[in-house]
Each structure stands twice: as C-alpha cells, then as structure tokens.
C-alpha cells in the first residue's frame, strides 16, 4: 500500500489536498434512544423558540406605535425597520444558541435536544445561523410538507439537517451531554 493510500484510509486533511473522511458519530442502530421522540420534541422546541423570538418584536412594534402617537405620526416611519430587524434578531438568536456551548436553542434545551454535526462536533455560530436560514427557505419554497423527510430516515433528520450535515439528538437519555464522537482509526 502506498503512502497516499494509507493517508486516504487513515483520514487525510484538507491541507494534503484530500477530504477528511469521518464516520457518522451517532448510529441509529447502536443508539436508537438518541433519536426517540426527536421530531415531536423539535416541534415543541420550535414553538418555544418562536415565542422567544416574537416577544422582542412585539415589544418593538408596540414601542413604535406609541412613539408614533407621541410624535403625531412621525415615529411610525420606523415601522419599516421591524422586518429587517426581526430577520437579524432571528439569525443572531439561532447563531448564538446553536453555536453556543450547549449547541441548542432555549427551546431545544427545554426539550432536551442538542444539535451536532454528523461527525459529532458541537455547532458554531455560522452553522447555527445558516441552519435557521436554510430551514426558513426550505419551508417557504417547498411548503411545510418538507418536514415529512424526518419520518423516512432513522436519524430523524429534516431536509435542512441533511443539507448542512447536522443531526439533532435526544440528550435526556444520556444526561445533558451527548456522547463523544467515535474515532475513525
């Protein structure tokens, strides 16, 4: 076996010009408890997160409405900021929570869920923000029926999880910390 073949089988790095091949960290056949109830929990976690996201937006709208009354209508010109500010707020929220130390939004924490990469690493800000954007785009373009993808795979991954290479696991079974990813050697 040549040196390049041994590098390929041992998992070469990007610096050597080859992709690092890693196995899935969470096996639904060996650890089915990590995926039990994930879709139901994700639904309720989404509702909790939606409530958390909407409270500051509603407060901002009420503030602008009252401010518009006090300024005889001039303050209502600020209503155009509500939409872009809501999008920025949602992206920052998902980026900070999914990219934080627990790799879970507040709703996901309440439902004992955690998002990991397919190879077991915790999330990071850009992955969390992109996860939210791809979710909303897939729901908007493909309709909410796209969520049925999770019913047809053992890891209960949704379309945006598959696209981004993430997996959501049930952490209530093994405590608050997900198992460490398996080594590829």
| Residue 63 clears pLDDT 80, i.e. is over it | yes
| Residue 21 clears pLDDT 80, i.e. is over it | no
Model confidence pTM above 0.75? yes
Residue 24 Ramachandran class (φ > 0 left, ψ -120 to 50 alpha, else beta): beta
Q: Number of structural domains, the chain?
A: 1
| Residue 185 clears pLDDT 60, i.e. is over it | no
The per-residue pLDDT for 50 is 97
107-112: average pLDDT: 96
Q: Domain range holding 143?
A: 29-170
User: Is 35 part of any domain?
Assistant: yes
Q: How many CB atoms lie within 10 A of CB 25?
A: 21
- Residue at token pair 């198992």: 179
The per-residue pLDDT for 19 is 62
Q: 70-81: per-residue pLDDT in tens?
A: 999 999 999 999
114-133: average pLDDT: 94
Question: DSSP per residue over 5-54, as a string?
Answer: HHHHHH---GGGTS------SS-TTT-GGGGTTHHHHHHHHHHHHHHHHH
Residue 122 contacts residue 116 (beta carbons within 8 Å): yes
């Amino acid at each position: 076996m040549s040196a390049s073949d041994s590098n390929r089988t041992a998992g070469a790095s990007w610096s050597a010009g080859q992709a690092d091949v890693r196995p899935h960290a969470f096996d639904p056949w060996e650890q089915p408890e990590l995926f039990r109830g994930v879709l139901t929990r994700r639904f309720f976690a989404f509702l909790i997160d939606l409530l958390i996201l909407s409270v500051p937006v509603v407060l901002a709208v009420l503030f602008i409405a009252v401010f518009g009354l006090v300024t005889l209508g001039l303050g209502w010109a600020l209503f155009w900021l509500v939409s872009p500010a809501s999008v920025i707020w949602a992206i920052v929220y998902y980026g900070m929570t999914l990219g934080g130390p627990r790799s879970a939004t507040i709703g996901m924490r309440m439902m004992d869920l955690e998002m990991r990469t397919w190879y077991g690493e915790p999330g990071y800000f850009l992955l969390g923000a992109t996860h939210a954007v791809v979710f909303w785009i897939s729901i908007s373009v493909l309709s909410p029926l796209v969520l049925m993808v999770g019913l047809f795979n053992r890891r209960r991954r949704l379309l945006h999880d598959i696209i981004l290479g993430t997996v959501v696991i049930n952490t209530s079974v093994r405590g608050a910390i997900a198992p460490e990813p398996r080594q590829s050697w």
